[in-house]
């Protein structure tokens, strides 16, 4: 941030998120896994570098590493794993002078999630760490595990006496549950019921890392701190909204030097697909912030009430509407930035070979979708008949996420009187990644004696305006949990409402029993079939 930057309008205490992170242990279940390696441990390291972690703090990992990877000293295993992940993925480079201090607070307990003896060992380790670091018994359990293991973990935590009463004043216990919560409405309810039997709702943080991104958080500020937008934020002035989340990566990550597969999500993603993985949580949560009514306060449950109100107003699709308004597809071999990459089915096979696991029979001819595009409507007064176009896909030309608000055309008079050359519409676009910021495209006159209209762009970029790089989403969200701020986390009724919207789509797909999906080459913006849900409306997908 520039030295001369000052906040001229400090917010009131209940708005400023002024709660400070409290002393605790962050206990990562699945610490040997991909999410911990790529995201969680680098996030904690960055928080340490920035000096925002509480004074009394430590990380304890729990889980089973891949066979043959655990050294004789479990603590050294997690420290090596963390150092490798930080070197590869951290937004701030590894600082050797800082590393030793950070590493001394990393510990690991090897054990199976369904082994009661391992939880006894975990308890003994945490008590020893409490004494070493002066931590008052407070815990944040991060369940970086598949949905099927969430219930097992929380029940063993309860049996082992590792969950404090929510009324306890001296210490606290909180649990972070990773998405997706279940694979359908019934399984989500089962998971939330088991978690609810062990943790109070006030102790439960259902995480969606997209809500921790600066631009996503800025949506509320943009809407409710600028008087020019909110009066226009409705069906009278907005033509349509597009929300795009494009991923350059596929299932696997490869070492750029050797070409060797170094990580894969095939074990999780195969059989899950883009609708469950991205639409049901990420895209619908962003949609809520775009479309919600103004909350009367920024207290967590007031904001979450407003978001659930949007989900409850989503128009449920009939089977005929699913066919008309939803497109799914799967990537095939293609080129991304001059590099040849395999198709989805081949990547699944190679991933299971690397994991040394048998390929499930249904995965030989997998119909797991890696791309979804859909058109939906919000049936309330503000958004009646305004289409929202959502799309997400893997192996697209680049990593990019955007919310684009397209305003209605000006009347066909004056400068827009020639139907063969209509004016470009005004578009407000919010870039969520990779370069966080926003832009507005407006019409302007070209210099010269004649009147020629040309679209120009007004832009704001976080890094150039405020300096440095924005914190990663996981950094912000982990801090919020340690501070007890649930604003950016999903509430139980919100999870159910999102699944209720998605279920008619999933159920229709299951009844269809298709053998092959539409295909798109790696390095393209998706299948041609995606155009059929937007082009007949006289609109087109934005090029990012």
Q: What confidence tens digit (pLDDT) does each residue in 187-241 have?
A: 999 999 999 999 999 999 999 888 888 778 888 888 888 898 889 999 999 999 9
How high is the pLDDT of residue 468? 66
Q: Tell me what the mean pLDDT of segment 384-402 comes to.
A: 95
**Residue 255: pLDDT above 90?**
no
Where does the pLDDT of residue 65 fall: very low under 50, low under 70, confident under 90, or very high at 90 and above? confident
Cα distances from 371 to residues 278, 315, 329, 499, 517, in angstroms, run 10, 22, 5, 18, 10
Higher local confidence (pLDDT), 433 or 160: 160
DSSP state of 227: T
CB atoms within 10 A of CB 353: 12
Q: Tell me what the mean pLDDT of segment 88-92 comes to.
A: 91
Higher local confidence (pLDDT), 240 or 544: 240
How high is the pLDDT of residue 111? 94
Where does the pLDDT of residue 60 fall: very low under 50, low under 70, confident under 90, or very high at 90 and above? very high
How high is the pLDDT of residue 68? 55
DSSP state of 532: G
**Residue 493: pLDDT above 60?**
yes
Where does the pLDDT of residue 13 fall: very low under 50, low under 70, confident under 90, or very high at 90 and above? very low
| The residue to which tokens 């597809």 are assigned | 329
How far is it, in rounded angstroms, from Cα 363 to Cα 522? 19
Of residues 233, 231, 28, the one with CA closest to residue 113: 28
Q: Tell me what the mean pLDDT of segment 404-430 comes to.
A: 77
Higher local confidence (pLDDT), 434 or 62: 62
Residues 443-454 pLDDT 10s: 777 777 776 666
219-233, 269-283, 410-424, 425-439: least confident range: 410-424
Q: Tell me what the mean pLDDT of segment 395-417 comes to.
A: 83
Residues 154-171 pLDDT 10s: 999 999 999 988 877 688
How high is the pLDDT of residue 425? 82
Q: 3-state SS of 331-357?
A: EECEEECCEEECCHHHHHHHHHHHHCC
List the catalytic residues: 282
In the chain, % of residues over pLDDT 90: 62
Q: Tell me what the mean pLDDT of segment 379-400 comes to.
A: 96
Q: Give me the domains of the chain, ranges plus CATH numbers.
A: 24-179 (3.40.50.720), 212-469+491-537 (3.30.360.10)
How high is the pLDDT of residue 222? 87
- Chain centroid to Cα 443, Å, comes to 34
Residues 234-252 pLDDT 10s: 999 999 999 999 999 898 8
How far is it, in rounded angstroms, from Cα 269 to Cα 368? 8
Residues 101-137 pLDDT 10s: 999 999 999 999 999 999 999 999 999 999 999 999 9
Higher local confidence (pLDDT), 454 or 16: 454
How high is the pLDDT of residue 265? 82
Q: Tell me what the mean pLDDT of segment 373-393 comes to.
A: 97
How high is the pLDDT of residue 423? 67
Where does the pLDDT of residue 377 fall: very low under 50, low under 70, confident under 90, or very high at 90 and above? very high
The contacts of residue 64 (CB under 8 Å, 6+ apart) are 32, 110, 111, 112
Q: Tell me what the mean pLDDT of segment 420-426 comes to.
A: 72
């Amino acid at each position: 941030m520039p030295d001369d930057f000052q906040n001229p309008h400090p917010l009131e205490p209940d708005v400023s998120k002024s709660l400070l992170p409290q002393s605790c242990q962050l206990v990562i279940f699945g610490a040997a896994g991909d999410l911990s390696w790529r995201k969680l441990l680098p996030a904690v390291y960055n928080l340490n570098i920035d000096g925002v972690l509480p004074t009394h703090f430590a990380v304890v990992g729990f889980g089973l590493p891949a066979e043959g990877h655990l050294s004789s000293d479990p603590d050294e295993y997690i420290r090596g794993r963390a150092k490798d992940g930080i070197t590869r993925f951290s937004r701030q480079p590894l600082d050797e002078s800082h590393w030793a201090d950070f590493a001394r607070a990393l510990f690991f307990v090897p054990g199976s999630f369904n082994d009661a003896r391992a939880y006894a060992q975990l308890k003994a380790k945490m008590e020893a760490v409490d004494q070493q670091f002066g931590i008052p018994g407070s815990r944040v359990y991060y369940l970086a595990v598949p949905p099927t293991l969430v219930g097992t973990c929380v029940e063993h935590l309860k049996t082992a006496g590792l969950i404090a009463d929510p009324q306890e004043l001296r210490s606290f216990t909180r649990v972070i549950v990773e998405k997706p919560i279940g694979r359908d409405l019934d399984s989500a309810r089962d998971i939330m019921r088991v978690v609810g039997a062990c943790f109070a709702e006030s102790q439960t943080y259902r995480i969606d890392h997209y809500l921790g991104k600066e631009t996503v958080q800025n949506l509320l500020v943009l809407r409710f701190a600028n008087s020019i937008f909110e009066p226009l934020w409705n069906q009278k002035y907005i033509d349509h909204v597009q929300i795009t989340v494009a991923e350059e990566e596929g299932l696997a990550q490869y070492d750029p030097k050797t070409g060797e597969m170094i990580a894969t999500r095939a074990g999780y993603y195969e059989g899950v697909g883009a609708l469950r993985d991205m639409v049901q949580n990420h895209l619908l949560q962003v949609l809520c912030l775009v479309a919600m009514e103004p909350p009367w306060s920024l207290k967590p449950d007031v904001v979450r009430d407003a978001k659930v109100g949007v989900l409850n107003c989503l128009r449920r699709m009939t089977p005929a509407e699913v066919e008309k308004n939803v497109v799914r597809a799967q990537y095939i071999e293609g080129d991304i930035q001059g590099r040849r990459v395999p198709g989805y089915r081949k990547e699944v096979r190679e991933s299971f070979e690397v994991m040394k696991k048998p390929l499930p029979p249904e995965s030989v001819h997998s119909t797991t979708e890696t791309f979804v595009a859909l058109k939906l409507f919000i049936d309330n007064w503000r958004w009646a008949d305004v289409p929202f176009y959502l799309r997400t896909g893997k192996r697209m030309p680049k990593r990019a996420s955007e919310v684009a608000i397209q305003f209605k055309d000006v009347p066909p008079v004056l400068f827009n009187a020639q139907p063969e050359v209509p004016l470009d519409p005004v578009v407000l676009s919010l870039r969520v990644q990779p370069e966080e910021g926003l832009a507005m495209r407006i019409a302007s006159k070209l210099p010269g004696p004649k009147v020629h209209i040309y679209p120009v762009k007004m832009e704001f970029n976080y890094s150039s305006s405020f300096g440095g790089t924005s914190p990663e989403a996981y950094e912000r969200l982990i801090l919020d949990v340690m501070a007890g701020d649930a604003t950016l986390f999903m509430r139980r009724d919100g999870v159910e409402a999102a699944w209720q919207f998605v279920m008619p789509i999933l159920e229709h797909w299951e009844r269809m029993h298709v053998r092959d999906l539409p295909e798109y080459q790696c390095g393209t913006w998706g299948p041609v079939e995606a155009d059929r849900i937007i082009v007949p409306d006289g609109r087109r997908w934005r090029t990012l």
